[in-house]
Amino acid sequence: MTVRGIAPPSATVLHEPMTTLMSLTETQDFLDREFPQMQAGGRAYHLEAVGPLTARMRLEAHERFLRPGATVSGPAMMALADYVLYAAILANIGPVALAVTTNLAFNFLRKPASGDLLAECRLLKLGRRLAVGEVAITAVGNPDIVCHATGTYSIPPR
């Protein structure tokens, strides 16, 4: 018995901004420039969408992320959650390279198969000093949430 997928934010957001401050391409370019190491060993993290208070990122299945039983490793999922949360914040507040993660909490719910993973993020709060979001990770083609995360970024004074 499982809940599938993450909540469609559009159904629950009433007064959100209608657009992001950075486009998908601008956000991805910024990430590539600031964090080239994330793609070391071959590009694997693909930002697929950004929206008002949301972002979606795909982790391409690479051997380097696998664990025994051909399941994607916990650390690969943790990196994915951190990264998509950062992307959601960036897209919505503009390029702030110095935003830093202060807190991340993960529940690992079931083992994913070895294919690509999707991480959907929605921001629960986008304040002046702190941004808080949640991330649901699923395997492509299977709506079961395999990992759920919440995280906080501290935003430097602007």
49 binds a second copy (CB under 8 A): no
Please state the closest distance from residue 153 (CB atom) to a second copy, in A: 10
Asked whether the beta carbons of 149 and 106 are under 8 A apart, the reply is yes
CB of 114 to a second copy, least distance (A): 12
Q: At 15, is the secondary structure helix, strand, or coil? A: coil
Q: Which is nearer to a second copy, 56 or 122 (CB)?
A: 122
Segment (H or E) for 126: strand 117-126
Which position among 17, 23, 25, 70 is part of the footprint of a second copy (CB under 8 A)? 17
**Contact call for residue 18 and a second copy (CB under 8 A):** no
What is the helix (H) or strand (E) element at residue 18, kind and residue range? none
98 HSE (CA, 13 A, CB side): 5
Q: How far apart are CA 70 and CA 66, in angstroms?
A: 6
Which residues here bind a second copy, judged by CB under 8 A? Answer: 1-9, 11-17, 34-35, 37, 40-41, 52-53, 63-68, 73-75, 78-79, 82, 92, 97, 100-111, 122-126, 129-130, 132, 134, 143, 145, 148, 150, 152, 154
